[in-house]
């Protein structure tokens, strides 16, 4: 006990020193576009220092409570690491492209009437586009802000906070919260029923397990991912469909994924494209949806061997259509401005133009993109 108390005393003191060093870095790093993130990081770290100091006082006053104090220390130390990994890392690794992309995202949020505080953007992702709702930080790969073809995925990430706590507590987003809750409940009930029916059949143990697995996937992450895809298609229009095609083609993975033994964070690419295409058709983009679908079917024809009879059981087509319809209705009721094919908004219109130019056989795309990006950034300054 004496040794453990001595260790914990030193560990807590060291964690306080680490948090204070991170506060110093946060104060001295980052540009104007990351001021909100800076304030969040400093606030979180100041609170961690206070809690650690209180834990140190508790250890001195009540050494017998070392178990509870240890757990407090562990939780705070983990949170400090999260602040460092996400927020402070972004602040201390700002790039010349951060300011441009933050201005662009601000313009996007104004254009679609985004109902929450615009996230900060940082080029610090080691994988792909991702957002931390707790830090209101959207991270993209190092050079992604320089190119148009993948930028429609910004819209997908913007939807995640809308169905997180930040969105649930916003009255304007009640229609979306209600739709999200209904979609999850209906999928849970449907898969529970399917599991019970499978259990009653002789030899249905494998399917009982799979239905239970699928239920967890749908409830925990898939419903949200489908809504975010619907949001991308609703706000960015056909460009989002092409971006999804571009990503799936580039990664070269199976597009008919059906979990068999373990959870997956994202649903199958083909199911996601079904939702995207349904939203495009419901928002007046039928002709572009047809073009995206033809390209997708061509891609799918090379990978159709990966599709099993389980696919439609896991991703019923009528369910995917229902999600698209419910999402479009909810977005409109929330006052979010969708893509208008007849009168495209500035940002999503440029992204739409980018994909048209990409497919053009006569115009060098790279030259067009460089000039179009320069013009767009000048217009939103």
* pLDDT score for 204: 67
CA atoms of 192 and 199, how far apart (whole Å): 11
Over residues 11-33, the mean pLDDT reads: 92
Q: Report how far apart the first and last C-alpha atoms of the chain are (Å, whole number).
A: 61
- Report the alpha-carbon distance of residue 371 to residue 353 in Å, rounded: 13
Query: What residue segments make up the domains of the chain, in order of their start?
Result: 2-94, 145-379
- Where is average pLDDT lowest: 21-35, 183-197, 224-238, 330-344? 21-35
Average pLDDT over residues 343-364: 95
- The CATH code that applies to domain 2-94 is 1.20.120
Radius of gyration for the chain, computed over Cα atoms and rounded to the nearest angstrom? 24
Which run of H or of E encompasses 344? none
Would you say 38 and 56 are in contact if contact means Cβ atoms under 8 Å apart? no
Judge whether 255 and 300 are in contact, CB under 8 Å. yes
What average pLDDT is seen over the chain? Answer: 94
- Tens digits of residue pLDDT in 90-110: 999 988 899 999 999 999 999
Quick: pLDDT tens for 118-145.
Answer: 999 999 998 899 999 989 999 999 999 9
């Amino acid at each position: 006990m004496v040794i453990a108390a001595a260790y914990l005393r030193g560990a807590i003191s060291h964690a306080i020193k680490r948090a204070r060093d991170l506060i110093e870095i946060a104060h001295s790093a980052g540009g104007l576009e990351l001021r909100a993130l800076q304030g969040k990081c400093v606030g979180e770290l100041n609170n961690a220092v206070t809690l650690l100091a209180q834990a140190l006082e508790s250890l001195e006053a009540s050494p017998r409570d070392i178990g509870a104090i240890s757990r407090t220390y562990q939780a705070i130390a983990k949170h400090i690491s999260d602040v460092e990994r996400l927020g402070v890392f972004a602040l201390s690794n700002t790039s010349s492209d951060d300011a441009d992309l933050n201005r662009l995202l601000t313009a996007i949020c104004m254009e679609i009437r985004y109902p929450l505080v615009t996230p900060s953007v940082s080029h610090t992702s080691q994988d792909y586009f991702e957002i931390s709702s707790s830090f209101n930080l959207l991270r993209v790969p190092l050079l992604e802000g320089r190119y148009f073809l993948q930028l429609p995925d910004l819209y997908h990430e913007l939807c995640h906070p809308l169905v997180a706590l930040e969105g649930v507590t916003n009255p304007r987003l009640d229609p979306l919260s209600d739709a999200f809750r209904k979609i999850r409940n209906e999928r849970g009930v449907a898969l529970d029923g399917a599991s019970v029916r499978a259990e009653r059949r002789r030899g249905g143990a494998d399917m009982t397990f799979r239905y239970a697995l699928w239920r967890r996937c749908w409830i925990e992450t898939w419903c949200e991912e489908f809504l975010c895809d619907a949001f991308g298609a609703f706000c960015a229009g056909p460009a989002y469909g092409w971006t999804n095609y571009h990503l799936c083609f580039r990664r070269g993975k199976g597009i008919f994924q059906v979990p068999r033994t373990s959870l997956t964070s994202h649903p199958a690419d083909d199911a996601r494209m079904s939702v995207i295409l349904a939203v495009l058709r419901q928002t007046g983009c039928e002709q572009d949806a047809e073009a995206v679908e033809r390209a997708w079917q061509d891609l799918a024809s090379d990978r159709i061997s990966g599709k099993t009879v389980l696919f439609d059981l896991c991703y019923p087509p009528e369910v995917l259509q229902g999600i698209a319809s419910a999402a479009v209705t909810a977005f409109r009721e929330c006052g979010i401005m969708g893509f208008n094919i007849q009168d495209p908004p500035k940002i999503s219109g440029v992204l739409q133009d980018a994909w048209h130019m990409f497919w053009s056989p006569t115009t060098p795309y790279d030259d067009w993109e460089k000039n179009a990006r320069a013009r767009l950034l000048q217009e939103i300054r």
